[in-house]
Amino acid sequence: MASVVVVGAQWGDEGKGKVVDLLTKYADYVVRFQGGNNAGHTLVVDGKQYIFHIIPSGILYQDKVCAIGNGVIVDAQVLLGEMDNLAEKGLAVRPERLLISANAHLIMPYHRMLDQAREGALSSNKKIGTTGRGIGPCYMDKVGRTGLKMGDLLDMALFREKLAASIEEKNFLLTQLYQQPAIDAKAIAADFEKLAERLAPYIGNVSVVLDEARRAGKHILFEGAQGTQLDVDHGTYPFVTSSNTIAGNACTGSGFGPAHIDEVIGIIKAYTTRVGGGPFPTELPEGDAIGDHLQNKGHEFGATTGRRRRCGWFDGVVARDAVRLNGLTGLAVTKLDVLSGLDSLQLASHYQVEGRRFDRMPENILQAALAQPVYESMPGWKEDITAVRSYADLPRKTRDYLQRLEDLSGARPVIVSVGPGREETMLLRNPFEQA
C-alpha cells in the first residue's frame, strides 16, 4: 500500500499528464485535489486522442477508480462533456469508477463571466492571463461562503435558494461595474436541474472512500494541477492561480490524512516555461534563437487555451522552492530530449536582486520581477536521446546535466522522460514499490 502525490514543480505544463499516466498503471485510485478545468492534458492511446480538463486520465484504465476531491472546482457542463466524449469513444463512465466530492464547489456561468470581465478591465502589465474558466471568482465564493457545491445538486430547492441569494450581488457587479448583461437565475436553475439528474449518482464522500481504500491496502495517486509557483500562497502572487497547488493540499483537498502520504514527486521540465503574466527570471526574450528552439521543439503551446508559452533556461531557485514547499522525495524530469542539439546549456543557481543574493524566489513581487538569474554554463549534447531507455545509456554530458539539476534542486530524478510517447520514459525508481 502506498500513497503518492504528484505535483508540478514550476509554473505548470511540466508534462504531468504523461507522468500521471505512467504512474496510474501502479495505482488503484487516482485523485484530483485542486484547480478546475484550467488544467488540461492530452493523451493518445491506441490511436485515439483524449483531452482531459477535469476527469483524471486514469479513467482510461478499466480497473481504476477516479475521484474528484473537495478542493477541486467543477464546471458541470465541462465534466459532462468529457463524460460524453469518453462514451462516444466506447468508454462509458460509471459511478463505480468516478466519484465526485459533495463538497467540491461548482463553477457557475457568472464565475466565467466575472473572470473574463475582470481580466478585460486590467491594464496590460497587470493582466494575470487567466484561462477565463471562472477559477478565481469560484474560489472567491467558496472562501466567501457564498458558493454552490456539488452536494447542493442533490436538493434543487436548496440549490435555487442559494443561487437566488448569490445572483443579486453578481448581477450588480456584472451590470454596474463591468457593463455586462444581467443573468437570469431561473434559466441557470433550469439548466442545472438537467445536469443534476445526470451527476447525482457520482456524488459522494471522497474522504471516506479514500480512507477505506487505504485501509484495504490500495495504492492511491494524487494528481496535482498547475505548478508550485502558481500556488496562491507560495507562488508569484498575484500572478498565480486561486488554489494551493502544493502537495499539502492533496490532504486538504481530498480529506486524506498527511501521515498517510508516502512519496511526493515533483514534475520538472529540463528547462522552464510559463503561460500568462508575471515574473519569470530565466525567460529568454521572444525572438531569441534558443527560446525559439525550446518553443518549437518542445511544442510549447497551452493545452487549455492554445497560448504560446514563454520559454527559458532551467531555474535552480524554482526547483529548490519546489523541493522545500512540497517536501519532494523525487523528481520526474521531462522533455530532456528538447535540449538535444544545443551547444551549451545554462542553469540558474541563484538570483541577484538590487545587489542582494536570493536562493529562493523573493516574496515581494517587485523584487521577483527584478531578479537577475546567475547562470552556470554546461556543454550541451548533440545526440538524439529519444530512443534511450536506461540511465547508463544517456550521453555523458546529459548525465552531467541531470546530476547538476539534482545538485541545484536537492532532489533526485526518479523518472526521466525523453519524448512524448508513453514508452519514451525511464522509470529509475518506482515510488509505489519502494514507499
230 binds ligand IMP (CB under 6 A): yes
Residues 75-114 that bind ligand IMP (CB under 6 A): none
Using the minimum distance from each CB to ligand IMP, give the nearer residue, 318 or 426: 318
3 lies in the binding site for ligand IMP (CB under 6 A): no
Does 129 bind ligand IMP (CB under 6 A)? Our answer is yes
Q: Is residue 56 at the binding interface for ligand IMP, with CB under 6 A as the rule? A: no
Based on CB atoms, which residue is closest to ligand IMP, 24 or 241? 241
Give the Cα separation of 16 and 9 in Å (integer): 10
Cβ distance to ligand IMP smaller for residue 398 or 417:
417
CB atoms < 10 A from the CB of 94, how many? Answer: 9
Cβ nearer to ligand IMP, comparing 128 with 394: 128
Q: Which one of 234-242, 285-293, 313-321, 341-349 is the stretch in contact with ligand IMP (CB under 6 A)?
A: 234-242
Residue appearing with cell numbers 516555461: 273
CB 433 within 8 A of CB 26: yes
- Catalytic one among 28, 41, 321, 350? 41
When asked if residue 426 is in the footprint of ligand IMP (CB under 6 A), the reply is: no
Q: Taking the complex as a whole, how short is the minimal distance between the CB of residue 225 and ligand IMP, in angstroms?
A: 6
Quote the cell numbers at residue 88.
462516444
| Catalytic residue status for 41 | yes
3-class secondary structure, 274: strand
Q: Any alpha helices (H) in 313-395, and if so which ranges? A: 316-326, 365-370
Of the candidate spans 58-66, 75-83, 222-230, 378-386, the one that interacts with ligand IMP by CB under 6 A turns out to be: 222-230
For position 39 contacting ligand IMP by CB under 6 A, the verdict is: yes
Binder among 108, 128, 294, 361 for ligand IMP (CB under 6 A)? 128
C-alpha neighbours within 13 Å on the C-beta side of residue 356:
9
* 299 annotated active-site: no
Considering the complex, state which of residue 28 and residue 115 has its C-beta at the smaller distance from ligand IMP.
115
**Residues 5-24 contacting ligand IMP, CB under 6 A:** 12-13
Residue 270 in the binding site for ligand IMP (CB under 6 A): no
As a whole number of angstroms, the distance between CA 307 and CA 396 comes to 35
DSSP strand pairing (330-334 vs 413-417): parallel
Please identify, using beta-carbon distances, which residue of 13 and 263 lies nearer to ligand IMP: 13
Q: Which is nearer to ligand IMP, 136 or 419 (CB)?
A: 136
* CA distances (Å), origin 6, targets 246, 263, 307: 9, 9, 24
Nearer to ligand IMP, 185 or 230 (CB): 230
Q: Which of 59, 108, 225, 388 binds ligand IMP (CB under 6 A)?
A: 225
**Contact pick of 10, 24, 103, 131 for ligand IMP (by CB under 6 A):** 131
From CA 395, how far away is CA 372, in angstroms rounded? 31
Q: Which of 3, 10, 37, 38 binds ligand IMP (CB under 6 A)?
A: 38
35, burial (CB in 10 Å: exposed 0-12, middle 13-18, buried 19+):
buried
How far is Cα 195 from Cα 207, in angstroms, rounded to an integer? 24
**How many angstroms separate the CA atoms of 227 and 240, rounded?**
9
**Which residue in 242, 249, 254, 425 binds ligand IMP (CB under 6 A)?**
242
Assign 43 to helix, strand or coil. strand
Is-contact 415 270, C-beta < 8 A? no
Count the neighbouring beta carbons within 10 Å of the beta carbon of residue 366: 10
* Residue 117 is a binding residue for ligand IMP (CB under 6 A): no
Selected binder of ligand IMP within 226, 236, 334, 425 (CB under 6 A): 226
Q: What are the E-state strand segments in 53-183?
A: 65-68, 73-74, 98-101, 105-106
| Polymer length of the chain | 435
Is there a contact between 349 and 284 (Cβ–Cβ < 8 Å)? no
Size of the site for ligand IMP (CB under 6 A): 19
Q: Give yes or no for a contact between 16 and 207, defined as CB atoms under 8 angstroms apart.
A: no
Q: How far is the CB of 77 from ligand IMP (least distance, A)?
A: 17
Residues with a catalytic annotation lie at 13, 41
> Could you list the residues that contact ligand IMP (CB under 6 A)?
12-13, 38-39, 128-131, 133, 135-136, 225-226, 230, 239, 241-242, 275-276
